[in-house]
Every structure is written in structure tokens, then in C-alpha cells.
A = this chain, B = another copy of it.
Amino acid sequence: MTQYTAPLRRLGGTVLARHAVVAVGLIAMTAFTVPESRESAGAWLTLCLWCCLAYFAIGSALRAHEAFRAGRLGDLLSTSGFVDLISVFPIPIALICGVSPPTAWLFASLWVLKLAQNSREFARIGRVFVLEAKPLASVLVLFLIVLFLASAAMHVIERHGQPEAFGTLPRSLWWAVVTLTTTGYGDEVPQSTLGHLLGAVVMICGIATFGLWIGILTNGFAAESRRSNFIQTWDLVSKVPFFQTLDPSAITEVTHMLRRVEMPERTAVVRRGRVGDCMYFIAEGEVQVDVEPTPVRLAAGAFFGELALLGNSLRTANVSTTQPSTLLILDLADFRTLTAHHPELARVIEAEGKRRVSDNQRRRELQLRSGTSMP
């Protein structure tokens, strides 16, 4: 069956298509809650919503079918499988149970979770929260402490003056949350001088707590970034023959320096005449260098863009991908550091650069045309 659905899946299975359907679905769902638009275009909106639902249902069914065939039943119980489930079933179930359509379709807001499905970045953000769970929990406890003490005190101070706003602790807690997070709706405001003093203290505590929270997340994110980048880059470095002559300690060093970038097909990597401040290693895929008379193709494992780092700083040719490719970027700063520590690498790159320049020149002379050299 998979071979029949393949073209359909190729069309509808791309990330772009999925995001577009999510956007359309959310807008239609939002419009469907407005009585005016429901009256004027209700039928179209309903059609649109059912189409989106069908799209998600088919996608989920295909994934489930595949997981079933491959015997990976665990996939159905993963976060991704759960998102598949709750983006399809709640709506028809609610409609069957007799919930009015505008309310039932509110479950379509769960489609927004599709944007985060299978995202590596979300896994990273999640990891930051897991690794920093203890200090973040402490900040939340600090938040709770200020919250309860401030609202009990404010309740005592303002309950006689404003029985409506501060007469009960739940109302007072609402004020404290609104104030501590610096949201400040202004629906409940202390009015006595003592209340103002306490309010000022709560606001400053709010900022202090917030600052701690940001400090912890910033440090956590920095550590997690470094770690996950290293692991992902490490696998790619091993695919570039150029680095295999290095000893393990230097490979570790260079892995910390490289930056990964994934590029779709037919994308310009380097433009002729621009200032160049990095060189590229091809980890996966293929690029085409537009040198005269005939373009040159470089496969995985090759490097380019080194001429801009060695002498003249302008790119000498256009380079673009011919396939979806993963490139490793080495910035000028790191290139200097690397070649300073490992002069043999500098020699290899320089020799290759010279070979390319002379190669281009010879070819051009053969064709007696004014051409372009490699980037």
C-alpha cells in the first residue's frame, strides 16, 4: 500500500505543507468562533476545517500503519503519537456527543502542537528545563513564598478599604500574581500608603525573581547548546577525510569550532564578489562551483571557500548546492587558531588552494576566455 500513497505523501508530507495546513486550520477555527463570520461564510469554514482534519487524520493513519508494519509499536505511545491522537479524535467525539460545532471545533487549537512535533530544538529546550530543574524549582518556590506572604499581608492591609478587590485571599493572590509577573492589569490596585509600600516591594521582588529565572535559563541554555552541538558535529567531522589525519585531541578541538548548517537543494552558499570570512567543508551532499569554462562539482568530504581566508578576502566564484547538503563552517577566527596550532593543516589547505588557482588558470588558457577562479 505504501507505494500507492507515496506520491500523495511526497506532496503532503513536507514540513512546509504541514505548517501551511496548521495555519489555515487555526485561522478557520478562530474565524468560526465569531458569529458574524459564521453566518456569512459558515459552510466554507466548516469545509476548510474538515479538510484540515482529514489531512491530519490521513497523516496520522499512515504513520500508525507504518509503525505497525515495522513492529515499532512504541512509536504510537511516544509524544509524537500522542499529538497525532489528540489532533484527530477529540473533534469528532465532541460532535458525536452533541457538543455544539463552534465549541467542538475549539479542539482544533490542539493542532498548534503539530508545529512542535518531531522538532529537535524542542527536545533541546526540554533538556534545559530537565537539567536545570532544581534551581528553576527553587525560583518557583521563591515565587510562591513572595506570593503567599504578600497576598496575606495585602489582604490584611486593604480588606477594609477595598472589600471587593482584597476581601478574600483568592482575590488578593490574583493581585499578587498579576503584580509579581509585572503584568499589572490594574483591575486590583492597593490604595493605602502601606499598600503602596508593600506593592513596591512585591514589584521589586518580582523583578529579582525574574532575573534569577533568566540567569538560570541563560546558563543552562549555553551549556546545553555546547553539548548538543558537539555531539551532532562530531558525527559529521568523521565523514570529512581532511580531518582524519588529525590526532584525537585536535579533532575534539576542531569539533568545538565547526558550525553545522543544513541547506536545501539549489541554494546559493557563496556569492562571487562578497567578502568571505569562513570556509566550508561538505559533510553530506554536493555543491557546484561556477568556474569558467565548466562548473566543477565537489562531493561530500571536499572543502571550498578557503581562498578568501588565505589571501584576497573576496569570493571568486558562486557556489550552490545541487542536493540537500550539510556543510560545516569554519570561521576566520577559528581558522587562524586552528592553523596556528596545526601548521600542517594550513599547508594542506594552502597547497589545495594553489592547485585550484593554477588549475583554473590552465583551463582558462586552454579556452582563451577570461574566466573566474574558484571561490
Interface flags for A223-260 (1: CB within 8 Å of B; 0: not) read: 00111001100100000000000011101100100010
Which residues of chain A in 179-219 are interfacial with respect to chain B, using CB atoms and an 8 Å cutoff?
Answer: 179, 181-187, 189, 193, 196, 199-200, 203-204, 206-208, 210-219
Asked whether A106 is an interface residue with its Cβ less than 8 Å from the other chain, the reply is: yes
CB neighbours (8 Å) of A138 from chain B are: 116, 119, 121-122, 124-125
In the complex, the answer to whether A196 meets B170 with C-beta atoms within 8 Å is yes
Indicate whether A116 sits within 8 Å of B141 (C-beta atoms), given known contacts A174-B196, A227-B333: yes
Q: In angstroms, how far is the closest chain B Cβ from the Cβ of A206?
A: 7
Asked whether, in the complex, the Cβ of A148 is within 8 Å of the Cβ of B214, the reply is no
Judge whether B211 and A103 touch: CB under 8 Å: no
What number of copies of this chain does the assembly contain? 4
CB distance from A210 to the nearest CB of B (A): 6
Determine, out of A26-34, A59-67, A285-293, the stretch whose residues face the partner at the interface: A26-34
Given known contacts A103-B156, A211-B213, is B234 in contact with A333 (CB within 8 Å)? yes
Check if B33 sits within 8 Å of A144, measured CB to CB: no
Q: How many residues in A have their beta carbons less than 8 Å from beta carbons of B?
A: 100
- Using known A-B contacts A142-B116, A169-B30, determine if residue A212 contacts B221 with beta carbons closer than 8 Å: yes
Return A335 CB to nearest CB of chain B, in Å.
10
Interface contact B214-A218, CB-CB below 8 Å:
yes
Distance in angstroms between the alpha carbons of A114 and B11 in the assembled complex = 44
Given contacts A124-B135, A149-B109, A215-B214, contact A340 B116 (CB under 8 A): no
A115 at the interface (CB under 8 A from B): yes
- For A137-174 the 0/1 string (1 means CB < 8 A from B) is 11111111101110110011000000000001110011
A333 nearest in chain B by CB position:
B230
Interface residue from B34, B214, B234 paired with A332 (Cβ < 8 Å): B234
The 8 closest A-B pairs by CB, nearest first: A183-B184, A230-B333, A185-B186, A249-B340, A215-B218, A248-B340, A121-B138, A33-B169
Q: List 13 A-B contacts (CB under 8 A).
A: A112-B147, A124-B138, A140-B204, A143-B204, A174-B199, A174-B200, A177-B199, A178-B184, A214-B214, A215-B222, A218-B218, A230-B336, A231-B331
